[in-house]
């Protein structure tokens, strides 16, 4: 085969263009820190990178969800802690009121403080985060204790689940039979793939019975009551009311508050474990993404220097080839 001057020139230009392209790619990698600058550079790396970024996006969202979970749990725990402290004061007041030597004025003063604590319980029951009430079950748009009152002067409860202790009727069957149901009123937030965690503490039962207890204590201490409550009737509030009552005694309700706090504490511990799990997952996915896309600088620099040396040699040889013409041979 006859090799012409134009063939030599074209081959030289083709090789020089390839050399320029390789050096350009290496420079782009060094500038961006990534093995690829567009999906067409390496489709496999590009597809894997998209998957890793989706995983990181989910981890970031779950981390934000965890912050919301902590807000709910911390607020609930603090609110119930206030209730527990006030229950101790209620016990002290009831013990003091059960003393048969108390005058009417002394009973009235105790009743006044009981009424104030009752209002405090209602305010705690209406605790909210941003614009959501945390003790109203899934009915977070309304406060647990509404402004309306029933025939006995008790405030209505706006939760969307029933108080089983009061046997609240919420529906009627087709045959006319009354049916009692109690949806749990749980508010859940997704904290991992397919895993949801309850963040609220439904308060209709607990706060409803607390309010009923405080109302009964206020009635027992009412100086206008006829006849006046005896010391035995008042002291019964410490150890329990009759089995037909819709309220519990101070000890039972205080224990329920502590049980609710223990449940919150258990969920807080689980949240902490989930946060550690998310942190480990984020580190793992970030490492995989780095191994998949990040350029090896030492290797890239070495290849670039080598390519530049080869390119310079090609230019030097090519210059000598192009200089040769027919005139040069004739001379």
Rounded Cα distance, 268 and 69, in Å: 9
Does domain 51-260+271-286 fall under CATH 3.40.190.10? My reply is no
Q: Are strands 188-192 and 178-179 parallel, antiparallel or unpaired?
A: unpaired
Helix H, strand E, coil C: the string for 20-65 is: HHHHHHHHHHHHHCECCCCHHHCHHHHHHHHHHHHHHHHHHHHHHH
Nearest to 75 by CA among 4, 13, 134, 6: 134
Rounded Cα distance, 128 and 143, in Å: 8
Q: What is the pLDDT of residue 182?
A: 39
Rounded Cα distance, 241 and 230, in Å: 14
CB 34 within 8 A of CB 293: yes
For residue 61 the two structure tokens come to 């969202």
Q: Give me the residues of the chain with pLDDT under 50, please.
A: 162-183, 241-247
Structural domain spans, the chain = 51-260+271-286
Cα separation values, 262 from 10, 76, 86, 266, 271, Å: 82, 11, 18, 6, 14
Q: What is the pLDDT of residue 164?
A: 39
CB 304 within 8 A of CB 26: yes
Q: What is the pLDDT of residue 184?
A: 60
Rounded Cα distance, 108 and 313, in Å: 106
Q: What is the pLDDT of residue 168?
A: 42
Instruction: Please give the radius of gyration of the chain, using alpha carbons only, rounded to the nearest integer.
Output: 39
């Amino acid at each position: 085969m006859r090799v012409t001057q134009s063939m030599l020139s074209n081959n030289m230009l083709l090789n020089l263009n390839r050399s320029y392209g390789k050096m350009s790619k290496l420079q782009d990698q060094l500038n961006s820190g990534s093995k690829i600058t567009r999906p067409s550079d390496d489709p496999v790396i590009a597809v894997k990178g998209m998957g890793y970024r989706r995983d990181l996006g989910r981890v970031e969202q779950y981390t934000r969800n965890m912050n919301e979970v902590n807000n709910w749990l911390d607020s609930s725990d603090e609110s119930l802690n206030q209730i527990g402290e006030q229950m101790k004061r209620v016990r002290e007041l009831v013990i003091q009121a059960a003393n048969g030597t108390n005058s009417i004025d002394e009973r009235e003063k105790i009743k006044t403080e009981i009424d104030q604590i009752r209002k405090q319980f209602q305010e705690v029951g209406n605790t909210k985060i941003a614009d959501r009430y945390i003790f109203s079950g899934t009915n977070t748009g309304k406060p647990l204790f509404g402004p309306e009152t029933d025939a006995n002067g008790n405030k209505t409860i706006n939760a969307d689940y029933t108080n089983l202790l009061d046997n609240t009727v919420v529906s009627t069957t087709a045959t006319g039979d009354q049916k009692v149901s109690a949806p749990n009123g749980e508010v859940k937030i997704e904290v991992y793939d397919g895993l949801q965690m309850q963040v609220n503490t439904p308060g209709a039962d607990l706060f409803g019975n607390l309010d009923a207890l405080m109302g009964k204590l206020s009635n027992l201490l009412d100086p206008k009551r006829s006849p006046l409550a005896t010391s035995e009737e008042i002291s019964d509030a410490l150890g329990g009311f009759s089995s037909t009552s819709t309220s519990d005694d101070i000890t039972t309700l205080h224990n329920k508050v502590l049980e609710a706090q223990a449940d919150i504490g258990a969920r807080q511990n689980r949240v902490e474990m989930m946060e550690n799990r998310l942190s480990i997952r984020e580190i793992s996915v970030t490492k995989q993404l780095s191994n998949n896309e990040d350029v090896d600088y030492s290797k890239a620099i070495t290849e670039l220097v080598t390519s530049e040396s080869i390119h310079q040699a090609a230019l030097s040889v090519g210059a000598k080839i192009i200089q040769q013409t027919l005139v040069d041979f004739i001379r």
